Amino acid sequence: MREEPRDPMRLAQANMRPAAIKRFFAKASVGEAEGGGFALLLDGRRARTPAKKPLILPTRALAELVAAEWAGQGETVDPAAMPLTRLANSALDGVAAALCATRGEIASYAGADLLCYRAEAPEALVAAEAEAFDPVLDWAGQALGAKFLIGAGVVHVRQSEGALQAVRVALEAFDDPFTLAALHVMTSLTGSVVLALAVARGRLSAEDGWRIAHTGEDFQIAQWGEDEEATARRAVRWRDFEAAARTIVASRS
């Protein structure tokens, strides 16, 4: 039996066109696909993923969001500026054939979740992290049955098998490639599967989840000021995170 790749998302992303190309269509629209779903149409022709699969979305709402990205392109088509399309391509080209492997990759973050590692000093940062992180971990304990242990500094905290299994069970609810790909994006960008699940399940807004994940970074910015390059990188990551959150909502419409 062929072994599934460790991280199907990265495998799919490796096949994506990295550079902008000249716009080759006039109109982007949505059409119903035979067998279900909604196809992205470029001048009436069905678009395809980098792996040449039909770009078919599970709901009209998601298909229209993807079509809007294409319609919003100028004289060139820049994949870097199309996070919803890139996520859909990853879902179809990588995740669809490896749902279990993708769940396993996401679940692996539970063993070293961002929310479980706290600063030892200064006191103001310790307090800020507790205020931001503790309510989310409390939610995980109540809603998921995942009770996590907390550590200080960088020393590894070994989580109980019960907590890890609770996360794996929670991930089973994500049974289609689009929501699972979106959850993978949110988890990898924040380093927290707990935050990603909280956003995906409506406990947190995308904005709040992103803010909580950057509690330590925002504390440092308040102390020392912003770095322009770091701010620009964070803006790009936020665009991808927000697109993933929108994908989950639109996939369930």
Residue-wise pLDDT tens digits, 181-238? 999 999 999 999 999 999 999 999 999 999 999 999 999 999 999 999 999 999 999 9
With 60 as the cut, is the pLDDT of residue 32 above it?
Answer: yes
- What are the residue ranges spanned by the domains of the chain? 8-82, 100-251
Q: What is the pLDDT of residues 107-164, one digit of tens each?
A: 999 999 999 999 999 999 999 999 999 999 999 999 999 999 999 988 899 999 999 9
Task: Please give the CATH superfamily to which domain 100-251 belongs.
Answer: ATP12 ATPase (1.10.3580.10)
Mean pLDDT of the chain: 93
Give me the mean pLDDT over the 59-77 stretch. 97
Give me the mean pLDDT over the 32-37 stretch. 93
Q: Quote the pLDDT of residue 13.
A: 60
Q: Quote the pLDDT of residue 154.
A: 84
Band of residue 4 on the pLDDT scale cut at 50, 70, 90: very low
Neighbours of 74 (CB within 10 A): 9
Give me the mean pLDDT over the 94-117 stretch. 97
Q: What is the pLDDT of residues 154-191, one digit of tens each?
A: 889 999 999 999 999 999 999 999 999 999 999 999 99
Q: Quote the pLDDT of residue 16.
A: 55
The correct CATH number of 8-82 out of 3.40.50.410, 3.30.2180.10, 1.10.3720.10, 3.40.30.10 is 3.30.2180.10
With 50 as the cut, is the pLDDT of residue 2 above it?
Answer: no
With 60 as the cut, is the pLDDT of residue 17 above it?
Answer: no
For 146, phi then psi, to 5°, come to: -105, 105
Q: How far apart are CA 219 and CA 130, in angstroms?
A: 13
